Structure 1
Amino acid sequence: MLKVDSHQHFWIFDPLRDKWITHDMENIRRDFLPEDLKPILQDNDISGCIAVQADQSEQETKFLLDLAEYNDYVLGVVGWVDLRAGNLRERLEYYKTFSKLKGFRHIVQAEGPGYMVDPVFLRGIRTLTDYGFAYDILVRSEQISEASKLVELNPDQRFVLDHIGKPLIKKGEIRDWEKEIRQFASYDNVSCKLSGLVTEADIEHWKYSEILPYMEIVLNAFGANRVMFGSDWPVCKLAAEYGAICDVISSFLEPLSSSEKQFIWGQTALEFYRLELN
């Protein structure tokens, strides 16, 4: 079965740039590069991965594209570009020359209300659509309603929601999130990543039984053909190793049909990001 990790990161740790990696995250305050990930993917029968930006700079995009060029199993890159810039079209003309650049992301979870429906940002999203790039939506659960407006205003853009919208699993908050996620999923141009789950739970004492209801809601709302597996490695290491993340997904998928399993493990990512297998 084809397995693709739709969401992981690489970085050369810089304490100034990577201030979000605080001292209580000691086990990820170091470099994480393709040579670290390759044996992990092999051990878990993962064919390839999508490298997603963690820093908001075009230097980050170049860094990831350089790694992808020399590592065949990095099937695609979700980079960063300033969607509000006056020269965006020029930058996208340039990035269109890189076959492994599949989309872009902005860390909207750190932005205030109204960011996703600001006319300048919306103009940037529409320019992405013109160039055929995907867009990863990274938001907190309370921002999903605004993300729905973004999606509604851009019906021709491919969107994917990272980390199932970051519900507060640790606090067991599910009712409001479920309402918002079902509304979001009602738009047919959106997909959702089963990623970042264990780090939204209690990172030291998370339980599969606590995560399961959230995954069930996502599957029911989106359908298997719009859901994709993502490890969120190495951030996942704050709560679990890569193999444990795969075990969570495997347990969840056990009752499903083989075609549903194939979509979630790899086919959805393959189609959404328009990946070319080596």
Structure 2
Amino acid sequence: MSDVLPLVDAHHHVWDLDQRPQPWLDAPGHEPIRRSHGIEDLRRAAERPLAGRSLTSTVVVQCVSSVEETVELLALAGPEPLIGAVVGWADLTSPAIGDVLDALRSAPGGGHLRALRHLVQGESDPEWLQRESVERGLRAVQDRGLGYDVLIRSHQFPQAVRLAERLPGLPLVLDHAGKPPIARHELADWERGIRALAAHSQAVCKVSGLITEADHRSWALHDIRPVWDILLDAFGPERLMFGSDWPVCVLAGGWARWAEAVEHLLGDCSPHERQAVLRDTATAFYRLTDHENEK
């Protein structure tokens, strides 16, 4: 029996370009990942242990605004032992959002649906999350016991904070730590947003996507540590969760290099704190234990 402890990757993607195009991959700079990526590719990429832990469960996250993609991810998760939860997409502004969510949960693998996400980072409306139609949709998400992955940039923190204020019963997880502008070394506004959101107890945070916000070619641990220190102070380890953002992380070094960085960042943490970041926070938010019991 192995002594290696479990590790949860709370944020990764898969896509099959023959089945569903990913138009965002056409942007310059995405050439290294402009191909299909499946769960076996992740297994190979994640062979390096992190703080003595091996990957045992993951959360696969939507890429495009498509219910059909969510259906595909749920069907993939059904028989796949590595995938513990799916973060999908549905049109929150639709009057039929409740019916759509119910249909997704009834679809093959639908029991794996744990949260929804929308690409708010691409919305120009500074109050998109406060739109009446969006809030109605998020109430439907909350009513079904699902969470919401918040994907924003630094200037959008005010609307995420207002969401937390207006829907205190909706579990929120901040994707990629709100995308701090690491490469520009301009963290002041981002830090204010982090601390404002962290003041709301239903919000947790993914330590993911940081290396792609740094200089892809030259980032080092000292570029990431100031962000980590702020997150640790604002949220505490019990509200932080590790995510690889694979395969997007390949653009800035890959799964193993990011895992090595996280291992160093956790160096001063207690075993209990490492357990929280590497397993417990994600397990609780996405109810991964429940999923394991379903198998």
TM-score of Structure 1 vs Structure 2, range by shorter chain: over 0.9
Q: Which residue of 1 aligns with 2:97?
A: 88
Q: Is the 8 A contact 1:28 1:235 kept in 2?
A: yes
Aligned to 1:51, which of 60, 72, 95?
Answer: 60
- 1:5-154 paired onto structure 2 within 5 Å: 5-13=9-17, 17-21=21-25, 22-44=27-49, 45-97=54-106, 98-112=110-124, 113-154=126-167
Equivalent residue in structure 1 for 2:190, among 177, 182, 200: 177
Structure 2 gap ranges (5+)? none
The structural deviation recorded for 1:152 is 0.9
For residues 159 and 59 of structure 1, the distance between their equivalents in structure 2, rounded to whole angstroms, comes to 24
Give the deviation of 1:104 after TM superposition.
0.6
Q: Percent identity?
A: 38
Superposed CA RMSD in Å reads 1.5
2:264 matches 1:260:
no
User: Would you say the 8 A contact 1:8–1:49 is kept in 2?
Assistant: yes
Mean alpha-carbon deviation: is it higher for 40-49 or for 30-39? 40-49
- State the alpha-carbon separation in 2 of the partners of residues 17 and 166 from structure 1: 25
Contact 1:41 1:47 in 2 (8 A): no
TM-score normalised to the size of structure 2? 0.91
CA contact (8 A) 1:2 1:262 kept: no
CA contact (8 A) 1:151 1:190 kept: yes
Matched with 2:205 is: 192
Count of matched residue positions in the alignment of Structure 1 and Structure 2 = 278
Give the Cα separation in 1 of the matches to 2:199 and 2:230. 13
* CA 217–14 in structure 1, closer or farther in 2 if over 3 Å, else same: farther
| Structure 1, gaps ≥5 residues long | none
CA distance in 1, matches of 2:29, 2:261: 25
Contact 2:20-2:69 at 8 Å conserved across structures: no
CA deviation vs aligned residue, 1:238-267 (integer Å, no higher than 9, x gap): 001111111111100111011100000011
Superposition deviation, residue 61 in structure 1: 0.2
Deviations 1:70-114 (A, max 9, x none): 211111100101111111111122223321111110000000211
1:41 touches 1:48 (CA, 8 Å); kept in 2? no
Please give the alpha-carbon distance, in whole angstroms, between the structure 2 residues aligned to 1:268 and 1:134: 13
2:249–2:255: 8 Å Cα contact kept in structure 1? Answer: yes
Q: Aligned equivalents of 2:28 and 2:152: distance in 1? A: 24
